[in-house]
Structure 1
Amino acid sequence: MAHSLLVMKFGGTNMQDARAIRHSAGLAARSVREGVKVVVVVSAMAGVTNGLLRLAEAAQGGDIAAANDEIAAMRTRHFTAAQDLGAAPDSPAVREIRELHETLRQAVYGVYLLRELTPRSRDLIVAFGERLSAPLMGLALEQGGVRAHHLTGGQAGIMTDAHFGNARPLPGTGERISDRLGGLLAAGITPVVAGFMGENEDGAITTLGRGGTDFSATIIGQALGADEVWAWKDVDGVMSADPRVVEDARNIEVLSYGEVMELAYFGAKVLHPLAVTPLQESGIPLRVKSAADPDFPGTLVREQAGGDAAHPVKAVTAIRGVSIISVTGAGVLGVPDVVASLFAAIARENITLLMVSQSSSMSNVSLAVQSADARRTLAALRRGVSGELGIEEQPGVAVLAIVGAGMRGQKGVAARMFGALAGEDVNILMISQGSSELNISVAIEGAQVDQATRAVHAAFRLGETAPTAAD
């Protein structure tokens, strides 16, 4: 089908060096030559975001030498890419990269002097990754004969609240984006937007959370009323399981918005969990495509799930490195305010709960959290609840989830999952089924997660070619 406007997002591996950037620019240029208007949204080069976080923390800890070494290495990497893309030493792109590194150096030096890294200064520093990769993509497009203009998220019109590190777009963002990018598109210019970032009402740079470039792309897609948003990845789309664990994992042709959010939440590193929310209101489809195989249709994410009764489950996914925190004691149950105080203590710390279960006979509440958050969770609970309750952590756990809209109202899905786990002698520590009936998740021993994933994948025959759902 013919498109008139596409938003294309390129992730870090598709931006990692001059060759990858040139290839990505070629994918965008291909659509531009077909007469499609394209907005390109870019991530930082692979590894740069983590490098920026590292150097910010080094500066905060007083190790300015380590921070400066990291900045120098980053600068060389971006200069090399610019040269390889054909930029002259005195070209605007190279000048801009030099100036950005100088600004970064000053920001990091400020952190070093204060020995303080606030969420606001962390956002300023970490957003340099995308600010540096956008001019490189602009350069590659121009070299490929496409007129391009690059902008930061804020310049493109993404206005957010001041929740640094996890900002959300404000009402009115859509109009600003369509004003600012609409003019460029009308003039035949391809906008290149630095993803993952916006700015708040004071003009301070904010970031949208890990994986936030997907979110930038869908915010822009909604604002412009795009035909589709294409997320270019280094995989064939969304897979039925992690292909490194399950050999016969397959690409899923169609997913609903709800299914993709469940998958993202349960550890499938596919998309930012909120990425599809801007599209749901407008019904704009999202396509996850493989940069290595651009003609492969990938995975289409849309309102209706598609699928059939024989394949109620679409995918199995796992979160590793989980701890179960158990709160026990006679006082736990029958006292609603005890449970309320548990959740309040966790909310104050901004800790994500992966699963919750409660048993009446044992009078306990079990909470599954990432092990990285376990220490904070224990401390928060000990502060927040009365002394006669026992609180303990069981580390080394994984959460395994099956996701699929076809499970709703279909009998025997849970039985098939538990049967597959029992067949592998996998001990189930905790069970939870979402009220939406889009997922069933279980907590199991971390050491058994790979064999459990393979067994469940096989039990639902996810490796077989499913009959294509009629659209």
Structure 2
Amino acid sequence: MDLIVAKFGGTSVGDGSRIRKAAQSVVNEYMKGNQLVVVVSAVNNATDELIELSNEAIGGGLTDKQKAEIMAMGELTSSRLFAAAIESLGVKAEFIDPYNDKWPVITDSNSLNAKIDFATTDKKCEGIKNLISQGIIPVICGFLGKGPSGEITTIGRGGSDVTAFLLGHCLSANNVVIVTDVDGVMSTDPNKIEEAELLDEISVEEMRDLATHGAQVLHPHALKYKDPLISAKIINFNNGDLSSEGTKITGPFEGDMLKTVSLYKNPISVIAIVGEEMLKKVGLLADLTSCLAENEINIFGISAGQNSITVFVEKKDSDKAYHLLHSWVIDEDVLSSLSLGDDTAMITVVSPEFIDEPGIISNITNPLRKNDINIVEISSSQTAVVLFVDWKDGEKALELIKEVLK
């Protein structure tokens, strides 16, 4: 007997017939002898409509507490409808919302972007386990939490995905099934490229990066609760079958999903190349990287300005790279010269939460500035910040950054 946590997104409960179809898929699994927990989102667009309605009625006068209570109405309604639909099919179900004593997801008091108290949530899940053991299917509101004073909170966009993986973890589920309006994870957006193909599986890290960079299929924050022992997949609600194949999400995330800071073990050398209007030369960067790749020299970082390109390679390869690139510079009419700089240390900071964290760059760089540590180069993406500092300052910079990110 498996314990399945099935999360139904807003589109999959978009109208009465879809709710009944979703409920039937849950009952079908229950009849196979499996245990079920349902996490349900608000009916499609309901939350946006509630926000728009409140803005029209009240304008900017709502408090965050009032906003959270209004936004919660979508999930409060859909959980009741879903539980009733299951019971109409002959199986016992109980809707669980933050007003219920069995409510499991406990957070801090931040009304609109609450942080989950994992330890307390884990303990509160005993009430859900008791329902399951009685043969009752709990239908739990996604997206919502309960604060320290019993107030409703929300855990941000994509919160229903977070709820599903969080409960899967705390309940030691066998499977987490994300039911949505696509067949699974595609090789790219099928609305843009018709030849997009369905992936049979994708790793947690790949899924996190894809979601962080705009894929709407799953919220990246949810994956930090992906237990390595739990199977997970994304399927289409149109199938009406929780055993559908879809795309399997494999493996655990290696390391701390919140923030990781690391110092590369070896010195990194800087090679700077200059030339007027070099960025107007088509294929210049391709030629540069090919030159080094053909000689098995790895590039650890590269940045381009109007009149310069900076390349970072491991110190052991720097002399070879320097001579190779010198020959290339001489042959290119838009390039004039290059230089081999001092050794640097490379520090990498990774977090899926950076995309939602304003000021992260200044938080990282301010302690370095205050301690007179010069940043040679910095680059960032939606999930990572990479800094190069003087080699002698590497260890100190690492400790300063670790301290500020605690």
Normalization by structure 1: what TM-score?
A: 0.53
Residue identity opposite 2:88 in structure 1 = Q
- Give distance in 2, aligned partners of 1:15 and 1:165: 24
Would the alpha carbon gap of residues 431 and 54 (structure 1) be closer, same or farther in structure 2, given more than 3 Å must change?
Answer: same
1:52 to 45, 50, 53: 50
Aligned to 2:151: 204
Return the offset for 1:165.
Answer: 2.0
Return the offset for 1:148.
Answer: 0.3
Q: Describe the superposition over 1:195-221 as per-residue Cα deviations: whole angstroms up to 9, x where unpaired.
A: 110111111111111121111111111
Partner SS for 2:176: strand
- Give distance in 2, aligned partners of 1:192 and 1:433: 34
Would the alpha carbon gap of residues 136 and 186 (structure 1) be closer, same or farther in structure 2, given more than 3 Å must change?
Answer: same
- Give distance in 2, aligned partners of 1:122 and 1:362: 50
Report if aligned partners of 1:174, 1:222 keep a CA contact under 8 Å in 2.
no
Aligned to 2:235: 289
Aligned to 2:199: 252
Aligned to 1:139: 84
Return the offset for 1:176.
Answer: 3.2
Report if aligned partners of 1:42, 1:194 keep a CA contact under 8 Å in 2.
yes
Partner SS for 1:164: coil
Would the alpha carbon gap of residues 279 and 177 (structure 1) be closer, same or farther in structure 2, given more than 3 Å must change?
Answer: farther
Residue identity opposite 1:220 in structure 2 = L
- Give distance in 1, aligned partners of 2:51 and 2:198: 33
Unaligned runs of 5+ in 1: 62-114, 306-356, 364-372, 382-429, 438-471
Would the alpha carbon gap of residues 283 and 118 (structure 1) be closer, same or farther in structure 2, given more than 3 Å must change?
Answer: farther
Residue identity opposite 1:184 in structure 2 = L
Residue identity opposite 2:16 in structure 1 = A
Q: Describe the superposition over 1:380-421 as per-residue Cα deviations: whole angstroms up to 9, x where unpaired.
A: x9xxxxxxxxxxxxxxxxxxxxxxxxxxxxxxxxxxxxxxxx
Return the offset for 1:431.
Answer: 9.4
Report if aligned partners of 1:29, 1:146 keep a CA contact under 8 Å in 2.
yes
- Give distance in 2, aligned partners of 1:153 and 1:38: 20
Partner SS for 2:115: coil
Would the alpha carbon gap of residues 436 and 16 (structure 1) be closer, same or farther in structure 2, given more than 3 Å must change?
Answer: same
Aligned to 1:40: 38
Q: After alignment, is 150-159 or 284-293 more displaced?
A: 150-159
Return the offset for 1:120.
Answer: 2.1
Partner SS for 2:118: coil
Would the alpha carbon gap of residues 6 and 194 (structure 1) be closer, same or farther in structure 2, given more than 3 Å must change?
Answer: same
Residue identity opposite 1:25 in structure 2 = A
Partner SS for 1:210: coil
- Give distance in 1, aligned partners of 2:25 and 2:14: 15
Report if aligned partners of 1:283, 1:302 keep a CA contact under 8 Å in 2.
no
Q: Aligned runs of 1:20-169 on 2, under 5 Å?
A: 20-61=18-59, 116-153=61-98, 155=100, 156-169=103-116
Q: After alignment, is 263-272 or 288-297 more displaced?
A: 288-297
Return the offset for 1:151.
Answer: 0.8
Q: Describe the superposition over 1:279-300 as per-residue Cα deviations: whole angstroms up to 9, x where unpaired.
A: 14x4422210112123530111
- Give distance in 1, aligned partners of 2:382 and 2:129: 44
Partner SS for 1:172: helix
Would the alpha carbon gap of residues 249 and 154 (structure 1) be closer, same or farther in structure 2, given more than 3 Å must change?
Answer: farther
Normalization by structure 2: what TM-score?
A: 0.61
- Give distance in 2, aligned partners of 1:433 and 1:202: 34
- Give distance in 2, aligned partners of 1:231 and 1:36: 17
Q: Describe the superposition over 1:9-49 as per-residue Cα deviations: whole angstroms up to 9, x where unpaired.
A: 00111111110000000111111000100001111111101
- Give distance in 1, aligned partners of 2:307 and 2:135: 67
Aligned to 2:180: 233
What is the number of residues matched between the two proteins?
271
Residue identity opposite 2:51 in structure 1 = L
Q: Describe the superposition over 1:399-447 as per-residue Cα deviations: whole angstroms up to 9, x where unpaired.
A: xxxxxxxxxxxxxxxxxxxxxxxxxxxxxxx99697699xxxxxxxxxx
1:173 to 107, 120, 129: 120
Would the alpha carbon gap of residues 171 and 47 (structure 1) be closer, same or farther in structure 2, given more than 3 Å must change?
Answer: closer
Partner SS for 2:220: coil
Aligned to 2:139: 192
Q: Describe the superposition over 1:72-98 as per-residue Cα deviations: whole angstroms up to 9, x where unpaired.
A: xxxxxxxxxxxxxxxxxxxxxxxxxxx
- Give distance in 2, aligned partners of 1:121 and 1:196: 16
Unaligned runs of 5+ in 2: 254-301, 309-354, 363-378, 387-406
- Give distance in 2, aligned partners of 1:184 and 1:433: 40
- Give distance in 1, aligned partners of 2:122 and 2:380: 44
Aligned to 1:214: 161
Residue identity opposite 1:178 in structure 2 = C
- Give distance in 2, aligned partners of 1:269 and 1:214: 11
Q: Aligned runs of 1:369-448 on 2, under 5 Å?
A: none
Return the offset for 1:153.
Answer: 4.7
- Give distance in 2, aligned partners of 1:209 and 1:246: 30
Would the alpha carbon gap of residues 434 and 60 (structure 1) be closer, same or farther in structure 2, given more than 3 Å must change?
Answer: closer
- Give distance in 2, aligned partners of 1:215 and 1:224: 14
